[in-house]
């Protein structure tokens, strides 16, 4: 077996060469507060329709139960910092705002490939077994990220770093190899509340806690069926995900450029016209969003979101488009269209 410190140094070099902005290590049992905090989250019902969050909680709460043989967790951050101000489009009500992370290729595919290459390198160098995860298993990625020192969980609950801000995806490589660990990161939010006040739906019942049922990311991506009317009106023109709390964080002044050009916004997704998006049928939707994370929600939920945005647009020119969808075969789309017509008439 090779010397652990020397191996770890080369592992970090390898990870940075792959394009990750940071690579740090913790033990799987280094997140003792998670089971209790997860329970608070679930008991309050903050997960809404995401029933899968209440399943396999023994794994989501404790990574050492998920894979008892694992001795180290290598935590990695991959930057997707936007090259533009993502809040600028919010002032253009006839256009749809798509979250930065979804304006091009699906990060799950890109990060996973990089994680697998890094894991293969580690096996070749040190042996042992590995498993890689990026939002693909019940793993508390943010808490592990903080334990390894990648950053800290900010008041908006996402991982923030003094070195790369908060525009980063998190991935992990679990291994049976015992690597030297890094120090956990401490909270640097201080008295700042910028993310909490930036939230358009008031989705934070307290700092560090998110009621996903009010979060636009949840409402536009995860929530099936009609959205509460009170919340529809607060969506503005956000049609897939939301970046307001991330964009507000002052630590982004240290953000580093996205490592992969495939995260850069596709021209047609930077400022798409709501009128065009509303008319997508299933085939056109699939063609437009092939390889994109948006494909997962399907045409009906996407057009539902577009119609809510049309209803919020105060643009009478969009009335005819909304009218054509009031008889849509999907009842949620038809309901959203009627709501939009009612708001614009």
Indicate which residues carry an active-site annotation: 135
- Tell whether residue 169 is a contact of ligand B12 (CB under 6 A): yes
- Tell whether residue 26 is a contact of ligand B12 (CB under 6 A): no
Report the residue from 71, 184, 208, 271 that binds ligand B12 according to the rule CB under 6 A. Answer: 208
Report the residue from 201, 237, 305, 312 that binds ligand SF4 according to the rule CB under 6 A. Answer: 201
Residue 4, classified by CB atoms within 10 Å of its CB into exposed (0-12), middle (13-18) or buried (19+), is middle
Report the residue from 8, 27, 114, 156 that binds ligand B12 according to the rule CB under 6 A. Answer: 156
Token couple for 194: 């910028």
Q: For residues 28 and 71, what is the distance between their CA atoms, to the nearest angstrom? A: 7
* 251 binding partner (options ligand B12, ligand SF4, none; Cβ < 5 to 8 Å by kind): ligand SF4
Q: For residues 235 and 242, what is the distance between their CA atoms, to the nearest angstrom? A: 9
Contact predicate 154/247, CB 8 Å: no
- Tell whether residue 233 is a contact of ligand SF4 (CB under 6 A): no
**Which of 82, 124, 117 shows the shortest CA–CA distance to 252?**
82
* Smallest separation (angstroms) from ligand B12 to the CB of 273: 21
Report the residue from 104, 217, 305, 312 that binds ligand B12 according to the rule CB under 6 A. Answer: 217
Q: For residues 232 and 235, what is the distance between their CA atoms, to the nearest angstrom? A: 5
Q: For residues 341 and 320, what is the distance between their CA atoms, to the nearest angstrom? A: 9
What track of x and - describes contact with ligand B12 for positions 221 through 260 (by CB under 6 A)?
xx------------------xxx-xx--------------
Q: For residues 82 and 59, what is the distance between their CA atoms, to the nearest angstrom? A: 33
Of 41 and 339, which CB lies nearer to ligand B12 in the complex structure?
A: 41
Helix intervals (H) in the chain: 4-18, 34-43, 57-61, 63-66, 107-126, 141-148, 194-198, 216-217, 229-232, 244-247, 267-270, 274-278, 282-288, 298-312, 319-324, 331-344
- Tell whether residue 217 is a contact of ligand SF4 (CB under 6 A): yes
Contact predicate 4/180, CB 8 Å: yes
- Tell whether residue 119 is a contact of ligand B12 (CB under 6 A): no
Which residue, judged by CB position, is nearest to ligand B12 in the bound state? 241
Report the residue from 96, 145, 149, 154 that binds ligand SF4 according to the rule CB under 6 A. Answer: 154
Report the residue from 15, 249, 341, 344 that binds ligand SF4 according to the rule CB under 6 A. Answer: 249
Number of residues that bind ligand SF4 (CB under 6 A): 25
Give the HSE-up count for residue 167: Cα atoms under 13 Å, Cβ half-sphere.
Answer: 29
Which residue, judged by CB position, is nearest to ligand SF4 in the bound state? 154
- Tell whether residue 101 is a contact of ligand B12 (CB under 6 A): yes
SS3 call for 97: strand
- Tell whether residue 59 is a contact of ligand B12 (CB under 6 A): no
Q: For residues 39 and 57, what is the distance between their CA atoms, to the nearest angstrom? A: 9
- Tell whether residue 160 is a contact of ligand SF4 (CB under 6 A): yes
Cβ within 8 Å of residue 132, ≥6 positions away: 112, 115, 116, 119, 171, 172, 173, 174
Residues making contact with ligand B12 (CB under 6 A):
34, 37-38, 41, 99, 101, 134-135, 139-143, 153, 156-159, 166, 168-170, 187, 208-210, 212, 215, 217-218, 221-222, 241-243, 245-246
The footprint of ligand SF4 (CB under 6 A) covers: 154-156, 160, 189, 192-195, 198-201, 203, 210, 215-217, 242, 244-245, 248-251
């Amino acid at each position: 077996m090779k010397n652990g410190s020397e191996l770890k140094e080369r592992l970090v070099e390898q990870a940075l060469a792959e394009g990750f902005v940071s690579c740090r290590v913790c033990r799987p049992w280094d997140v003792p507060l998670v089971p209790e905090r997860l329970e608070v989250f679930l008991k309050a019902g903050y997960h809404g329709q995401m029933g899968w969050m209440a399943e396999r909680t023994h794994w989501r709460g404790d990574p050492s139960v998920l894979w008892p043989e694992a001795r180290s967790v290598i935590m990695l951050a991959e930057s997707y910092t936007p090259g533009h101000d993502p809040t600028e489009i919010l002032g253009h009500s006839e256009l749809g705002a798509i979250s930065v992370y979804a304006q091009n290729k699906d990060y799950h595919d890109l990060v996973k490939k990089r994680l697998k290459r890094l894991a293969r390198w580690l096996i070749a160098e040190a042996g042992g077994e590995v498993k890689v995860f990026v939002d693909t298993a019940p793993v508390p990625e943010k808490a592990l990220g903080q334990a390894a020192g990648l950053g800290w969980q900010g008041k908006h609950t996402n991982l923030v770093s003094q070195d790369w801000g908060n525009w980063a995806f998190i991935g992990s490589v679990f291994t049976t190899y015992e690597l030297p660990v890094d120090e956990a990161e401490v909270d640097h939010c201080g008295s700042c509340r910028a993310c909490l006040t930036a939230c358009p739906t008031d989705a934070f019942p307290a700092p560090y806690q998110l009621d996903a049922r009010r979060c636009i990311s949840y409402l536009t991506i995860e929530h099936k069926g009609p959205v509460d009317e009170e919340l529809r009106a607060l969506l503005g023109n956000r049609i897939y995900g939301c970046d307001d709390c991330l964009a507000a964080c002052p630590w982004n002044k240290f953000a580093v450029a996205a490592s992969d050009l495939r995260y850069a916004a596709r021209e047609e997704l930077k400022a798409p016209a709501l009128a065009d998006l509303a008319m997508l049928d299933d085939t056109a939707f699939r063609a437009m969003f092939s390889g994109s994370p948006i494909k997962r929600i399907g045409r009906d939920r996407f057009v539902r979101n577009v119609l809510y945005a049309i209803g919020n647009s105060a643009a009478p020119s969009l009335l005819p488009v909304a009218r054509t969808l009031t008889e849509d075969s999907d009842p949620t789309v038809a309901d959203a269209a009627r709501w939009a017509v009612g708001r614009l008439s």
